[in-house]
Amino acid sequence: MQFIITAGGKFYWGHFLVDYLGEITRPKTFPEILRAVGAKGFGGRRMKALELVWTNEGEEEEEEEEEEEEGGPRLFVPVDPDAP
Protein backbone atom coordinates (compact mmCIF):
# COMPACT_ATOMS: atom_id res chain seq x y z
CA MET A 1 0.00 0.00 0.00
CA GLN A 2 1.51 3.28 -1.11
CA PHE A 3 0.98 6.72 0.37
CA ILE A 4 1.98 10.36 -0.02
CA ILE A 5 2.31 12.54 3.07
CA THR A 6 3.47 16.09 3.68
CA ALA A 7 5.47 17.60 6.53
CA GLY A 8 7.40 20.83 6.78
CA GLY A 9 6.43 21.90 3.27
CA LYS A 10 7.91 18.75 1.70
CA PHE A 11 6.17 15.71 0.23
CA TYR A 12 7.10 12.11 0.97
CA TRP A 13 6.17 8.89 -0.78
CA GLY A 14 6.20 5.61 1.05
CA HIS A 15 5.16 2.00 0.96
CA PHE A 16 3.84 0.18 4.04
CA LEU A 17 4.74 -3.34 2.93
CA VAL A 18 8.40 -2.70 2.11
CA ASP A 19 9.09 -0.15 4.88
CA TYR A 20 10.20 2.54 2.43
CA LEU A 21 9.98 6.31 2.71
CA GLY A 22 11.48 8.83 0.30
CA GLU A 23 11.32 12.58 -0.16
CA ILE A 24 9.79 13.73 -3.45
CA THR A 25 12.24 16.35 -4.74
CA ARG A 26 10.49 17.10 -8.06
CA PRO A 27 7.75 18.10 -8.76
CA LYS A 28 7.35 20.40 -5.77
CA THR A 29 3.57 20.84 -5.34
CA PHE A 30 0.87 18.24 -4.75
CA PRO A 31 -1.08 19.01 -7.97
CA GLU A 32 2.15 18.74 -9.99
CA ILE A 33 3.01 15.44 -8.27
CA LEU A 34 -0.43 14.03 -9.13
CA ARG A 35 -0.14 15.24 -12.73
CA ALA A 36 3.32 13.65 -13.11
CA VAL A 37 2.22 10.35 -11.57
CA GLY A 38 -0.89 10.29 -13.77
CA ALA A 39 1.07 10.99 -16.95
CA LYS A 40 4.28 9.01 -16.36
CA GLY A 41 3.48 6.67 -13.48
CA PHE A 42 5.59 6.69 -10.36
CA GLY A 43 8.67 7.19 -12.53
CA GLY A 44 7.45 10.76 -13.14
CA ARG A 45 8.84 12.00 -9.85
CA ARG A 46 12.37 12.40 -8.51
CA MET A 47 13.05 10.86 -5.14
CA LYS A 48 15.63 11.16 -2.42
CA ALA A 49 15.79 7.98 -0.35
CA LEU A 50 15.59 8.47 3.39
CA GLU A 51 17.47 6.32 5.86
CA LEU A 52 15.25 4.29 8.16
CA VAL A 53 15.80 4.80 11.86
CA TRP A 54 14.63 1.95 14.06
CA THR A 55 13.32 2.75 17.51
CA ASN A 56 12.94 0.64 20.62
CA GLU A 57 9.27 1.49 21.14
CA GLY A 58 8.12 -2.12 20.89
CA GLU A 59 10.73 -3.29 23.40
CA GLU A 60 9.70 -0.61 25.90
CA GLU A 61 6.04 -1.63 25.62
CA GLU A 62 6.93 -5.29 26.19
CA GLU A 63 8.95 -4.38 29.31
CA GLU A 64 6.03 -2.34 30.69
CA GLU A 65 3.64 -5.24 30.10
CA GLU A 66 6.00 -7.63 31.90
CA GLU A 67 6.24 -5.25 34.88
CA GLU A 68 2.46 -4.99 35.06
CA GLU A 69 2.07 -8.77 34.97
CA GLU A 70 4.63 -9.40 37.72
CA GLY A 71 3.49 -7.15 40.52
CA GLY A 72 0.78 -4.88 41.76
CA PRO A 73 -2.83 -5.53 42.62
CA ARG A 74 -5.02 -7.37 40.19
CA LEU A 75 -8.46 -5.86 40.10
CA PHE A 76 -11.50 -7.72 38.88
CA VAL A 77 -14.91 -6.12 38.80
CA PRO A 78 -17.67 -8.61 38.04
CA VAL A 79 -20.33 -7.41 35.65
CA ASP A 80 -23.90 -7.62 36.89
CA PRO A 81 -26.22 -8.03 33.89
CA ASP A 82 -29.03 -6.43 35.92
CA ALA A 83 -26.99 -3.33 36.85
CA PRO A 84 -28.57 0.04 35.98
Q: Domain for residue 46, yes or no?
A: yes
Residue 29 domain flag:
yes
Q: What is the mean pLDDT of the chain?
A: 80
Q: Is residue 71 part of a domain?
A: no
Q: Which residues contact 20 (CB under 8 A, 6 or more apart)?
A: 14, 49
Q: What is the pLDDT of residues 8-36, one digit of tens each?
A: 999 998 888 887 889 999 999 999 998 99
Q: 34-63, pLDDT tens digit by residue?
A: 899 888 887 788 889 888 787 777 666 666
pLDDT at 6 over 80: yes
User: What is the pTM for the complete model shown?
Assistant: 0.58
β-strand pairing of 10-15 with 20-26: antiparallel
Amino acid identity, position 28: K
CA dist., res. 30 & res. 56, Å (int): 33
Confirm if 35 and 58 have CB atoms less than 8 A apart: no
pLDDT at 78: 66
The residue type found at 10 is: K
Structural domains in the chain (count): 1
Please give the DSSP secondary-structure letter assigned to residue 78: P
Residue 39 lies in a domain: yes
- On whether residue 72 sits in a domain, the answer given is no
Domain for residue 67, yes or no? no
